[in-house]
Amino acid sequence: MFQRNLIQVALLYAAAIASGYAASLLRVPLPWMIGPLLLAAIVSLADKQPTIPWITRPIGQLVVAASVGLFFTPAALTAVSQQIVPMLAVALLTIAAGFVAALVLMRIAHIDVVSASLASIPGGPVEMAALAARHGAQSGTVAFAQILRIALLVLIVPPLLVALDGEGADPATALANGPVDYLGALLLLAIALGGGFFLKLIGMTTPFFLGPLAATAAASAFMMPVSAPPYFVLAAAQVLLGVWLGAMFKRELFVRSPMLLVAVLASTAVLLLLTAIMALVISWMTGIAWQTMVLATAPGSVTEMALTAKILDQEVALVTAYHVLRIFIILPLVPLIFALVARLSGRPGAD
């Protein structure tokens, strides 16, 4: 069984690479993520999906986070520090917007308030599903809704912004970063790995994104001799993340509750609309490009939004900082918020 699964996984990744290459020929934004995501979702929904090794997600996150960390130059950190108040406001308003989206999900899918809220507030599928199990809510529904929202953002936001902007660069050109300093790239990945294991050791959530991001951002800010990895390494990381995300679509969830798909689509549309309004208001108030702010306030998927910012030549550090600060505010607050919601709704596990 192990050998057969290994062969199936190898064939899936070969097909994913081919789909990424095809998407790159079509100049699709984030081709090496969107192509494999669609392919893996189709395979999974056809009930032919092999078991994807869990290690693929942290590896993909580490490489992308390390690449994004390079944009935290001293000048970028100065610009980010001037946005602390809007960043705090966006984080808190996103929680409020998540409850509005949860109301839509409740009305259409007829699920309880705790499940709907955990499914709607951006916080990561793994973390939110764990909270759902703790409060006696529908963890499968929560994970599905979170994953579907992230996938929709990946499939909709980058192509839409590139189309509206009209000046999106070729992804390979935008993300390649010119000549490669292999020693600098190895140093970057070593620092990223150390940051990931450190956060893992202290029990931090999403350690292999936040740890590498913090470590490489510090290395960039202190102007250490680090360099971006070769483009094929970044493309491979996107393939890993795309396949992992697509593999999360399980056929039984669609068969068991067809209205859940409709409900998640509707609630995601509401959440995206509310965050886009936030983005336009902050853009008007601060003078920051609206494309940057739409990516910065998008409800989830920091890796994809940061890469899209690079393709559009927007402020990558600012986009990343908005998402990271939101993560650090939402994740500690969410257990407290939903313990209260569970208590008020009479759910088990509220203590």
Question: pLDDT of 158-193, one tens digit each?
Answer: 888 877 766 555 666 666 666 778 999 999 999 999
The tens digit of pLDDT for each residue in 69-83 reads 888 888 878 878 888
351 pLDDT above the threshold of 50: no
Higher per-residue confidence, 34 vs 206: 34
What is the token pair recorded at 200? 């893992």
Give the other-Cβ count within 10 Å of 202's Cβ. Answer: 8
Residues 6 or more apart from 281 whose CB is under 8 A from it? Answer: none
Cβ-based neighbours of 10, under 8 Å, separated by 6 or more: none
Average pLDDT over residues 13-35: 89
Please choose, from the candidates 314, 334, 40, the residue with its C-alpha nearest in 3D space to the C-alpha of residue 157. 314
pLDDT at 112: 84
| 273-302 confidence digits (pLDDT tens) | 999 999 999 999 888 889 889 999 988 777
CB 308 within 8 A of CB 164: no
Give the chain's mean pLDDT.
83
CA 114, CA 128: separation in Å to the nearest integer? Answer: 11
Cα–Cα distance, 348 to 135 (Å, whole number): 6
